[in-house]
Every structure is written in structure tokens, then in C-alpha cells.
Amino acid sequence: MVGVPDGAQELHLVDGRVAERDTSPPEVRAAREPSTPGDTLLEMRAVTHRYSEYSGIEDVDLVVRAGESVALLGPNGAGKTTLMKHVNGLLRPQSGTVLIGGEHIARRPVWEIARDVGMLFQNPDDQIFNRVVEQEVAWGLRARGISAMDASRAALRALGELGIEHLAAENPHEITASQRQLVAFASILVVDPKLFVLDEPTKSLDARAAEVVAAAIDRRLSRGAGVLLVTHELDFARRLADRSVVLVDGAIIWAGATEELSGDAQLLASARLVDRFGRQGGRCGRYRAPR
């Protein structure tokens, strides 16, 4: 991209119109104040799932409590999606156990686990199948026996919360990838799950849309939901996650307060995390032994 002198205005498109943009770096919000976690919503104990000798996840322990958000960080191919798919039963452990709300999910079918766990897939196209946005968002409620009128009303509310109610009548396959991402997120918000499992919820979103998503997550956290989220953006992890877990080559190499992670350059490099300007963030810090 061509550089813009300090203080200059850059032209770009907003909703198809040319607009001016202040090129000063966006304000990075303060890190989240740690919340007081409640009951355990998710517990993974020594979960192993290997596709081959070199890929999968190994001996993963992870806890998410009510009112708490945990960021799952790590390079491409680390096993983040594999781990997430164990939370809603799409993948089952080869060894180890997964508990939701203190109960083993080994014998629960995926559709039933979905009552407690709202999963946003890494690729929203994997979960969108209706031909009208409003129906797509309402579908989860209709499947629970909610009337068409009530489900539609709730769907419009969820779309409104994300600022995309104007897309209600569109075909989800004829809107942009970032809009589809928001539609998929709305379809999870609408069913109000106890636990949100979000695989790169801000992928392809601009800063404003990412903040809309973050604010919606914040509201659920304050009502006692738990959140496990994958992100490659350090700012987003700091904004939302009290704790972070770093997964490399299928194993958790670090777990702790997200604030601590932000100051550890070597760990940030291991997780291949970036800030909004594409730099690996944080000041220099000493690498801590994995725990």
C-alpha cells in the first residue's frame, strides 16, 4: 500500500461512497478488567485426538468458567479448530474427557450439545444453509419449537445488535464474506447459549465491526456466559479475554493472564500473534517455561 504522510487524509470506500479516513492509528482499548469467574462451564481433561503422528492435539487440559472468556492462540495448524470441535462433539477424543456444565458429553449427540454450546465455525459458509438471512438467524429457535413470529422477532433483534438488520431479507450467499460472518454470529447470539465457542470471530472484519462483535460478547459475559475464542489478533485477545492459552503443535505450551502474554515477545512469536498493524506486539520479555 502507498504510504500516507502523517496527518493526511486517505480516500476509501464506505458503503460504495468515497469517504475520508483519519490515518492516525486506531486507539487501542485498555485490556479487559479481569472478571470474577463463576461455575465451570467447560472442562477438558487430557484430551488427545491425533490425525497422524504429526497432527492433532495432545493431552489438552482446559477450563472455561461462567462469565469468563479464554483466548486460544497459536500458529496455523496448531490444532485450535481441532480442539474447538471437541467442545460441541463434532470430534470426539481418542483419549481424555470433555465436560459441559460438569457432565460428560461422550454420549450426548451433537444436536443436543448445541443447546448449551454456540459454535461459530472458522468458515461461516460451513454453517449457513438458509436462503434468507432472517430465516438463517431464526433457524436455531425454530428448531427449538419457538413460533415463527417470535423467532423472527428475536432474529431481527440479534441482527440489529450487530448493525446488520438491513440484511434481513437478503440471500446470505449474495452478501459479503464479512457480512456472512456477522450473520453466522447472529444465529448463535439468538439462541443464547451458556458457552460460546468462536473460531476466529473477527476474521475479515474491520475494526468497527470487530468492536461490535466484542461488545456483543461482553454483554453475554456480563450475563454469565462463558467464551472460548480463537484469534490471531493480540488486541482482540486483550480486549476480550481474561486468560489465554497458547497451543503449538497440538500441545498447550502456556496458559495465563492475557496481560502477561502481551509483554512476552518470545511467546508472542511462538503464537505468531499480531497487533492491528501487522507487527508482533509486546515489549521484550523473558520466555517462561511451559506449564
Ligand X SMILES: Nc1ncnc2c1ncn2[C@@H]1O[C@H](COP(=O)(O)OP(=O)(O)OP(=O)(O)O)[C@@H](O)[C@H]1O
Asked if residues 228 and 64 have their Cβ atoms less than 8 Å apart, the reply is yes
- 244 forms part of the interface with ligand X (CB under 6 A): no
For ligand X, give the closer residue by CB, 161 or 275.
275
Identify residues 83-142 at the interface with ligand X (CB under 6 A).
122
For ligand X, give the closer residue by CB, 72 or 191.
72
Size of the site for ligand X (CB under 6 A): 12
- 204 forms part of the interface with ligand X (CB under 6 A): no
Burial of 211: CB neighbours in 10 Å, binned 0-12, 13-18, 19+: middle
- 56 forms part of the interface with ligand X (CB under 6 A): yes
If contact means CB under 5 to 8 A according to the sort of partner, which of ligand X, Mg ion, none does residue 51 touch? Answer: ligand X
- 78 forms part of the interface with ligand X (CB under 6 A): yes
3-state secondary structure of 81: helix
Identify residues 214-243 at the interface with ligand X (CB under 6 A).
none
The residues that touch Mg ion, with contacts defined as CB under 5 A, are 80-81, 122
- 36 forms part of the interface with ligand X (CB under 6 A): no
Asked if residues 216 and 189 have their Cβ atoms less than 8 Å apart, the reply is yes
Please provide the size of the chain in residues: 291
If contact means CB under 5 to 8 A according to the sort of partner, which of Mg ion, ligand X, none does residue 77 touch? Answer: ligand X
State the nearest-atom distance from the C-beta of 126 to Mg ion, in Å.
Answer: 12
For Mg ion, give the closer residue by CB, 37 or 124.
124
If contact means CB under 5 to 8 A according to the sort of partner, which of Mg ion, ligand X, none does residue 78 touch? Answer: ligand X
In Å, how far from its chain's centre is CA 8? 34
C-alpha to C-alpha distances, 84 to 49, 62, 191, 220, 272, nearest whole angstrom: 12, 11, 19, 19, 19
Distance of alpha carbon 77 from alpha carbon 73, whole angstroms? 11
Alpha helix segments (H runs only) across the chain: 80-87, 110-113, 133-142, 148-161, 177-189, 207-222, 234-240, 258-262, 265-271
Asked if residues 288 and 98 have their Cβ atoms less than 8 Å apart, the reply is no
State the nearest-atom distance from the C-beta of 82 to ligand X, in Å.
Answer: 3
If contact means CB under 5 to 8 A according to the sort of partner, which of ligand X, Mg ion, none does residue 82 touch? Answer: ligand X
Binding site for ligand X (CB under 6 A): 51, 55-56, 74, 76-82, 122
